[in-house]
Structure 1
Amino acid sequence: MSWLSNVRNKIASITKKESPDNLWHKCKKCDAMVFLKEYEDNMHICPKCEHHGRIGPMTRFEQIMDENSWKIIPFSAVPEDPLKFKDQKKYTERLKAARAKTEEQDAWVNVTGTIEGHKCVVGVQDFAFLGGSMGLAVGQAFVDAANRAIEDQCPLICFTASGGARMQEGTLSLMQMPKTTVAISMMKEAGIPYIVVLTDPTSGGVMAAYAMLGDVQIAEPDATLAFTGRRVIENTIREKLPDDFQTSEYYFDHGMLDMVVHRKELRAELARVMSYLMAWKTAA
Structure 2
Amino acid sequence: MLLLEQLFDPSRGVVHISGLTANSREAARFTTDAKRESIVGTINAASSVYRLIPVGKFYELYRLPTNERYERISAGCAAAAGAVELETFHTQMLALADLQPARVRQIQQEHTLLLQGDSLGNMPAGNSVEDIKTVLARLTPLIPSLRSLSLNVTQVLDTGNSNNPARAIRFNQLVAGLPVDRRNEIRVDARGLITEMNLSLVPADIETKPLVIDKKEAIRRAQAQLNLATASSQRNAEILSLDLVCAFADGRLVPEYRIVAKAPNGEDYFLHINGNSGDVNIVSATIH
TM-score of the superposed pair, with normalisation by structure 2: 0.27
Find the structure with the greater CA-based Rg: 2
Q: Which has the higher strand share?
A: 2
Q: Which has the higher helix share?
A: 1
User: Whose relative contact order is higher, 1 or 2, with alpha carbons under 8 Å and at least 6 apart?
Assistant: 1
